[in-house]
């Protein structure tokens, strides 16, 4: 039997709905493990001497996980979308070379320096936008994401410009949480091992707390070390596997400005806020200074600000206004955490 367009559309929507529902399963698994660890430590073991420090670790761990989940991915602004006239020209032109030339003309007004492997301007046919440097289209989120690092199913979100700092803090506080549990439960685990621990439900919780904490710590240690290396090199996971292409050719270190400036791009200049999950990253995610241009301005992230002043109409506003609105919306959202299985997703 032939299926009509309406049935195919309904089936497609149904599949997408199921996909959205199932995408929350990894998050629910991690949440269940964390809640169990809280119950086991606080109510079963009742290690009152350590409860204050435990709740600090648990609170920061939970806060960063929440932020990682519920911070929406940052997407390209309207300046990178084709205007109505440009879109008409692009769609009516059948010659690929002519289409590329149209994109080149539009890109001259924007701070775009990266290219495709063939040297063309990077353009997303699905979102109908010129891709800002370091942005990529996520097939799961169905949108282009600024400075996309990877899509992580364990937070059910894209890790990118808007939440990369929170993701790093999540990994750090996850490791701290695991280390604290391991260190404080170790003495009771040793008593259990030699048979000196009284029989009771606490024996089960001690055994599995040690096992789970150690398992996650080892996995998180490798993942966190890898991302520390990426931050030091000013690369995303995608850029580590495929070097960004510039007019002069591929360059893995094209965005690296030195260790100090690379750290500032992710964590911001206020060091008091480095370890707090609030948005402090430099810039707006659309432009990143190049290694060869790092000396052009006192604040390299604003070296190309004049390129944003050109607007097709008066509704766009300046870079300062856009940055303020962008950061305000990012800071008004919350998000939560991620675990070692995300290491697998760095290779996709």
Beta strand 123-124 with 143-145 is unpaired
Mean of per-residue pLDDT scores for the chain: 83
* Burial track 126-148 (b if 16+ CB lie within 10 A, e otherwise): ebebbbbbbbbbbeebebbbbbb
| Residue 51 clears pLDDT 90, i.e. is over it | yes
Beta strand 136-138 with 129-130 is unpaired
- Do residues 285 and 262 touch, judged by C-beta distance below 8 A? no
Backbone angles phi, psi at 316, to 5 degrees: -80, -40
- Do residues 343 and 149 touch, judged by C-beta distance below 8 A? no
Q: Who contacts 3 (Cβ-Cβ below 8 Å, separation ≥6)?
A: 11
- Do residues 289 and 264 touch, judged by C-beta distance below 8 A? no
Distance CA 223, CA 304 (A): 34
Using one digit for the tens of pLDDT, what is the confidence trace for 208-244? 999 999 999 999 999 999 999 999 999 999 999 999 9
Using one digit for the tens of pLDDT, what is the confidence trace for 141-177? 999 999 999 999 999 999 999 999 999 999 999 999 9
Q: Who contacts 219 (Cβ-Cβ below 8 Å, separation ≥6)?
A: 339, 340, 341, 343
Q: What is the DSSP string of 33-102?
A: HHHHHHHIIIIII--GGGHHHHHHHHHHHHHHHHHHHHSPPP---GGGBPPHHHHHHHHH---HHHHHHH
| Residue 329 clears pLDDT 50, i.e. is over it | no
| Residue 180 clears pLDDT 80, i.e. is over it | yes
Judged by average pLDDT, the poorest of 247-251, 295-299, 331-335 is: 331-335
Q: Tell me which of 152, 178, 228, 331 is the catalytic residue.
A: 152
- Do residues 153 and 345 touch, judged by C-beta distance below 8 A? yes
Using one digit for the tens of pLDDT, what is the confidence trace for 251-286? 999 999 999 999 999 999 999 999 999 999 999 999
pTM of the model: 0.81
Whether 152 is catalytic is: yes
Interhelix angle 25-39/201-233, rounded to 10 degrees, is 130
Query: Given pLDDT bands bounded at 50, 70 and 90, which one contains residue 290?
Result: very high
- Do residues 279 and 327 touch, judged by C-beta distance below 8 A? yes
Q: Who contacts 235 (Cβ-Cβ below 8 Å, separation ≥6)?
A: 252, 255, 256
């Amino acid at each position: 039997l032939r299926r009509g367009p309406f049935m195919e559309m309904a089936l497609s929507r149904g599949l997408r709905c199921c996909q959205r529902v199932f995408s929350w399963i990894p998050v629910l698994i991690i949440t269940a493990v964390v809640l169990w660890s809280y119950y086991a430590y606080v109510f079963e073991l009742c290690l009152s001497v350590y409860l204050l420090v435990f709740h600090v670790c648990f609170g920061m761990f939970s806060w960063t996980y929440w932020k990682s989940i519920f911070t929406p991915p940052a997407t390209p602004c309207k300046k990178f979308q084709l205007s109505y006239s440009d879109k008409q020209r692009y769609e009516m032109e059948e010659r690929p070379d002519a289409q590329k030339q149209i994109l080149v003309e539009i890109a001259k007004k924007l701070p775009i320096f990266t290219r495709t492997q063939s040297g063309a301007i990077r353009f997303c046919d699905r979102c109908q936008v010129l891709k800002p440097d370091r942005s990529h289209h996520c097939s799961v989120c169905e949108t282009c994401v600024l400075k996309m690092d990877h899509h992580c199913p364990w937070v059910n979100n894209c890790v990118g410009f808007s939440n990369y700092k929170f993701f790093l803090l999540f990994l750090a506080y996850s490791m701290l949480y695991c280390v604290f549990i391991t260190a404080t439960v170790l003495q009771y685990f040793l008593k259990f091992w030699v048979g000196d621990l009284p029989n009771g439900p606490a024996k089960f919780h001690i055994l599995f707390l040690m096992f789970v904490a150690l398992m996650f710590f080892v996995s998180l240690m490798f993942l966190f070390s890898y991302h520390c290396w990426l931050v030091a090199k000013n690369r995303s996971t995608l850029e580590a596997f495929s070097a960004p292409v510039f007019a002069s050719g591929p360059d893995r270190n094209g965005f690296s400005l030195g260790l100090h400036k690379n750290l500032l791009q992710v964590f911001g200049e206020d060091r008091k806020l480095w370890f707090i999950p609030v948005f402090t990253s430099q810039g707006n995610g659309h432009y990143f200074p190049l290694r060869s241009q790092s000396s052009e301005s006192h604040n390299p992230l604003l070296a190309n600000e004049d390129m944003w002043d050109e607007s097709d109409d008066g509704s766009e506003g300046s870079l300062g206004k856009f940055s303020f609105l962008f950061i305000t919306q990012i800071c008004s959202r919350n998000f939560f955490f991620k675990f070692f299985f995300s290491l697998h997703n760095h290779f996709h």
